[in-house]
């Protein structure tokens, strides 16, 4: 990725990595997932439509018994969460801390949640009896595993028909295991790589995420945790529910990234308009779509997050641990995007044309290029924003204390009267040609001794405001010194003094 932002800060960035992050995949049985399909299934087996609950109850008991067997075999207990404020992630983190991260079943959580279901309905006009979709509540099991290939995953299994499954995995966790297998060293904090020994190799591995491998893993967990496939004689169809694709810029130090991110986040929230959000997501501006666009700034424990949302899709920017700048595109409806693919028509013919992305997991390969394009366009936009982070770093350099040869050197206070007078004296025109000596400053600083002026000059040299002329006891202002003193004088005389006089 050769975005201008990377060219602009290339020497400060250790590496760049684009990878799938959060992936939520749903599993449905092709026939029973629709009311008409379940109705046909019951009719084919001569089961009364109004006996649908009786048909589903034994399947519910089978899933419950299977969950208890899996938990007992792994020597774990099924934990029921009755309160919604308890985060499952926190529970699992505590279990892993005690258990370790070796592959296998980590924990089983049960919780009452909403689910899709059907109700029997008799139409008096047509005299037809069928099932209609509705919602209800049932017990759900969350099976948390540490998979040998994907890392930490979970499968959410409802205990009521039609048994819509939900699977979660994280692309960065998967990549971490790939790097380990390839012998590439790295440092992973949460779900962000702060250090990778070979960034190019890591990107090659990230691009190898295969839907075929994912499909095999999904089928294995579905068979183990939801043993109802024999009843329906079907395999689960896996579709993409939520996909996050992130581009991480890992900076060499937090001192470089923090002021840059502060400047970019401030400019982004003020500068991004609806048409820009549409451009990031590869859409054209229309009055209808413009009503669905918004930008938000939110403050989290980890830092500030800028999010630009359009319907069920968003582009956001946030920092990870003060070292990684993450640009992330999230979609909760992959059919929002279009690409050129083969389209099969009702008459049996197939043509290649622009069409919406299919929700099948086999769209992951094409979807990666689409979401990467969204990240790239956002990076290009950020590269055009004003960046004052260098000024923040230089201000810290001038005002923060330093330790030189075991001695603490205090930073300059531009509002201290004595130091302000000294700085203004250095800027006098007569010192621009041949430099300034200690004796030249004495008339302007009558209250300071010669020794004090000497110490001040040493501080100025250490902080980079002045530079010594070779083979002479004369000094001249550096470019940083001229800019800092000019800014301090302007701030004091043109802003602070008039404001206090009002």
Reference 215, options 241, 233, 240, 238; nearest CA is 238
Residue 170 pairs in a beta bridge with 22
Domain contains 434: yes
What angle do helix axes 199-206 and 171-182 make, rounded to 10 degrees? 120
**pLDDT score recorded for residue 347:** 80
Q: Which residues contact 462 (CB under 8 A, 6 or more apart)?
A: 402, 404, 409
Q: Kindly tell me the sign of the dihedral angle through the C-alpha atoms of 284, 319, 2, 367.
A: negative
Domain contains 297: no
Domain contains 133: no
What dihedral angle (degrees, nearest 10) is formed by the CA atoms of 260, 264, 265, 267?
140
Do the beta carbons of residue 264 and residue 317 sit within 8 Å? Answer: yes
Domain contains 447: yes
Domain contains 354: no
Residue 468 pairs in a beta bridge with 475
The C-alpha atoms of residue 296 and residue 410 are separated, in whole angstroms, by 40
**pLDDT score recorded for residue 56:** 93
Give, in order, the Cα–Cα distances in Å from 222 to each of 75, 164, 231, 233: 21, 11, 14, 14
**pLDDT score recorded for residue 385:** 67
SS3 state of residue 461 = helix
**pLDDT score recorded for residue 306:** 87
Domain contains 360: no
Domain with residue 425: its CATH number is: 1.10.10.10
Domain contains 373: no
In total, how many domains does the chain have? Answer: 1
- pLDDT, averaged per 10 consecutive residues of the chain (502 residues), comes to 59 88 94 86 91 93 96 94 90 92 94 93 89 93 95 96 95 95 93 93 94 94 91 91 94 82 80 79 70 70 79 90 91 91 83 90 93 90 67 74 82 82 81 80 84 85 84 83 81 78 68
Range of the domain at 416: 391-501
Domain contains 265: no
Q: Which residues contact 396 (CB under 8 A, 6 or more apart)?
A: 255
């Amino acid at each position: 990725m050769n975005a201008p932002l990377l060219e602009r800060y290339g020497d400060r960035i250790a590496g760049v990595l684009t990878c799938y992050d959060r992936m939520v995949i749903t599993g449905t049985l092709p026939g029973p997932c629709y009311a008409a399909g379940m109705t046909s299934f019951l009719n084919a087996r001569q089961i009364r439509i109004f006996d649908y609950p009786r048909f589903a109850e034994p399947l519910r008991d089978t899933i419950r018994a299977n969950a208890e067997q899996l938990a007992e075999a792994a020597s774990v207990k099924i934990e029921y969460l009755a309160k919604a404020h308890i985060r499952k992630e926190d529970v699992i983190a505590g279990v892993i801390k005690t258990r370790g991260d070796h592959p296998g079943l980590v924990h089983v959580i049960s919780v009452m949640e909403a689910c899709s279901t059907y109700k029997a309905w008799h139409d008096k006009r047509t005299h037809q009896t069928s099932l209609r979709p509705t919602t209800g509540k049932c017990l759900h099991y969350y099976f948390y595993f540490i998979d040998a290939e994907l890392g930490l995953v979970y499968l959410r299994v409802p205990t009521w028909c039609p048994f819509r499954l939900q699977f979660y995995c994280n692309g960065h966790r998967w990549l971490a295991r790939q790097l380990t297998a390839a012998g590439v060293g790295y440092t992973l904090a949460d779900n962000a790589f702060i250090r990778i020994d070979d960034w190019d190799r890591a990107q090659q591995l990230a691009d190898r995420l295969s839907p075929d491998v994912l499909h095999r893993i999904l089928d294995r967990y579905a068979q183990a945790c939801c043993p109802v496939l024999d009843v329906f004689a079907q395999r689960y169809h896996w579709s993409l529910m939520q996909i996050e694709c992130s581009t991480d810029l890992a900076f060499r130090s937090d001192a470089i990234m923090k002021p840059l991110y502060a400047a970019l986040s401030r400019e982004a929230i003020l500068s991004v308009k609806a048409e820009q959000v549409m451009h990031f997501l590869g859409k054209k501006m229309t009055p209808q779509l413009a009503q669905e666009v918004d930008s938000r700034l939110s403050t989290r424990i980890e830092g500030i997050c800028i999010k630009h949302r359009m319907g069920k899709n968003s582009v956001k920017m946030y920092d990870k641990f003060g070292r990684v700048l993450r640009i992330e595109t999230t979609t909760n409806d992959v059919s929002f995007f279009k690409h050129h693919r083969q389209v099969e028509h009702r008459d049996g013919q197939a043509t290649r044309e622009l069409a919406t992305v299919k929700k099948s997991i086999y769209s992951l390969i094409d979807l990666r290029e689409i979401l990467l394009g969204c990240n790239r366009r956002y990076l290009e936009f950020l590269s055009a924003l004003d960046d004052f982070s260098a000024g923040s770093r230089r201000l810290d350099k001038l005002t923060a204390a330093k330790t030189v040869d075991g001695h603490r050197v205090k930073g300059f206070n531009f509002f201290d009267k004595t130091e302000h007078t000294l700085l203004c004296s250095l800027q006098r025109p007569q010192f621009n040609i041949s430099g300034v000596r200690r004796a030249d400053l004495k008339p302007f600083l009558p209250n300071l001794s010669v020794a004090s002026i000497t110490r001040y000059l040493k501080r100025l040299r250490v902080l980079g405001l002045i530079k010594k002329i070779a083979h002479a006891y004369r000094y001249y202002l550096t470019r940083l010194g001229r800019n800092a003193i000019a800014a301090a004088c302007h701030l004091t005389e043109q802003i602070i003094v008039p404001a206090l006089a009002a």
